[in-house]
Structure 1
Amino acid sequence: MSTDLGTWPEGVARHVLARVETTMAEASRLAPHLAGPAWILAHEQTAARGRRGRPWRMPPGNFAATLVFHPPGGPAHAALYSFVAALALDEALGYLLGPAARLSIKWPNDVLLNGGKIAGILLESLGIGGQISHLTVGIGVNLAAAPPPADLEPGAMAPVSVAGETGLTITPEELLTPLAAAFDRRARQFETYGFAPIRTAWLARAARLGEKVIARTTTETHEGVFETIDESGAMILRTAHGPRAIAAADVFF
């Protein structure tokens, strides 16, 4: 795909705000009034959270934005936009940081720089009775600083920042345009050709593919070799008891 990510995608709105509770809450509030996709970027969040409702602090200068749009298809199809988002973020960061940046994607949708976590992605759907009216894709990136170690859960991957790893200063607005452009292109590819090309591109960027990992669900811990992801986005582990599909888990290296 083209690497020219410097142009804002046509038909996509952009809202840049100084301070909000969370960009995802703001996206949910705006969703019923939007004519098309919209990105909401905030310079400060007062009640940010990560996966499974975990608190998440945002140091000044870091990136916090949410895309809200109406996805085609049902919940299973919408969930695959997690991989679209991770791939788009990887491409946008690569565009800004250059070919020397050692970027990869940790299943399901964390982006790593030099082996440390630089970004996370959170999807939430809006709707009634199993019908999705809108999907929100929240993205946080450590541009200026990584969160302090005290904020991390035990065993979590050490976070890093763009500034700390590369010495580069990138503003949230400078990241937003290539991210929006990359997401728009990958989403169009997904909607036209299905998940297969997204899956192929994602696997080419996957961290620890072919290596041993530990996947912890809310009730179980599985250890095995990360072989691939299937057509539903599940991680396929080769364990001592045979292949196992993991639909949702925290992964540890």
Structure 2
Amino acid sequence: MTDWPEGYGKRILEEVDSTLDEAARIAPDLAGPEWILARRQTKGRGRRGRDWKDPQGNFAATLVLRPTEAPNEVALRSFVAALAVYDACEALTGRTAGLALKWPNDVLLNGGKLSGILLESAGQGSGVTHLAIGIGVNLVETPMKEWLDPGAVWPVSLLSETGVQVTPEDFLTALAAAYARYELQFTTYGFGPIRTAWLARAAKLGEVITARTATSETEGTFETVDEEGNLVLNSAKGRVSIPAADIFF
């Protein structure tokens, strides 16, 4: 049985509007990192303000941190979180077959979207006073699919793909332990080892993918993720570095 990591708080809520909203409410009074797990969210959200549906038994949690790095470095924790979700799935199912990490912040299983990660921060001046890392994982069911963009990755669940049923509480324990290991690595050695570990698990590395923003679309070979976390594609226009985009393949 995995032990709860030392120094991390934990609160489990029966119902909340959103664990990210709860994180914003409690952050000013926290002395250290805190995990918030909700058995039910009424207003969960994903990227670009989309609703994030949480069928009963799925995982919805947020980690609140008080980071000390510059904002651009703080944002690299999306890679830390993705690695932690990957490791938690491995620990609870005993397998890595089919698991992959999709830039910038999704976890795939057998080609489908298993987990999404959303970072929200608040700050004063040029600093970040708190960071909230929201993590949703389809443990037993897949959410509504009506909002999917054409060509987007289809959602899957851990249960449907592996036959393993995991409770949100057990997933939280495994995730918190994995996150604590990677967080220590990140704060001690920087992004380098995190980047290396992430690339070793990256989906479609070396293959042709499409990066779409609100104003442009770039197709190219997925070459790497650079030291700032940007996606690097080898396109018809040469080597391009992309800080933010939706990825399609």
Give the TM-score taking structure 1 as reference length.
Answer: 0.96
Deviations 1:3-59 (A, max 9, x none): xx8111101000000000000000111101111000000011111110011111111
2:56 is aligned with 1:60: yes
Contact 1:56–1:151, Cα closer than 8 Å, also in 2: no
**Cross-structure match for 2:130:** 134
Say if 1:106 and 1:100 are closer, same or farther in 2 by CA, change over 3 A: closer
1:213-228 to 2 correspondences below 5 Å: 213-228=209-224
Stretches of structure 1 that go unaligned for 5 or more consecutive residues are none
The answer for the alignment partner of 2:173 in structure 1 is 177
**Residue 178 of structure 2 corresponds to residue 189 of structure 1:** no
The more displaced of 54-63 and 223-232 is 54-63
Q: CA deviation at 1:100?
A: 5.2
Are 1:152 and 2:140 counterparts?
Answer: no
Question: CA separation of 1:230/1:38 partners in 2, compared to 1, >3 Å: closer, same or farther?
Answer: same
Partners of 1:47 and 1:216 in 2: how far apart? Answer: 27
**d(CA) in 2 for partners of 1:18 and 1:151?**
26
Is 1:117–2:113 an aligned residue pair? yes
Report the residue type matching 1:29 in the other structure.
R
> Could you tell me how far apart the structure 2 residues matched to 1:163 and 1:87 are?
20
Q: In the alignment, does 2:100 pair up with 1:104?
A: yes
Partner SS for 1:149: coil
Within the candidate set 230, 247, 251, 2:247 is matched to: 251
Structure 2: unaligned runs, 5 residues or longer: none
Residue 9 of structure 2, aligned match among 13, 23, 28 = 13
Structure 1 stretch 123-132 or stretch 58-67: which is displaced more?
123-132
**What pairs up with 1:13-32 in 2 under 5 angstroms?**
13-32=9-28
Match of 1:119, SS state, is strand
Q: Partners in 1 of 2:35 and 2:212 — Cα distance?
A: 32
1:237-248 pair list within 5 angstroms? 237-248=233-244
Cα distance, 1:163 vs structure 2: 1.1
Cα shift at 1:99: 2.3
Corresponding position of 1:40: 36
**Stretches of 4+ aligned residues off by more than 6 angstroms:** none
Deviations 1:181-234 (A, max 9, x none): 111110110111111100000000000000000000111000000000000000
Matches within 5 A, 1:67-82: 67-82=63-78
2:208 is matched with 212
CA distance in 2, matches of 1:143, 1:79: 26
- After TM superposition, the score normalised by the length of structure 2 is 0.98
Q: CA deviation at 1:164?
A: 0.9
102 and 228 in structure 1: CA distance in 2 versus 1, 3 angstrom threshold: same
Identity of aligned residues (%): 58
CA distance in 1, matches of 2:31, 2:52: 30
User: Cα RMSD over matched residues?
Assistant: 1.1
- Native 8 Å contact 1:70 1:134 kept in 2: yes
- d(CA) in 2 for partners of 1:62, 1:191: 30
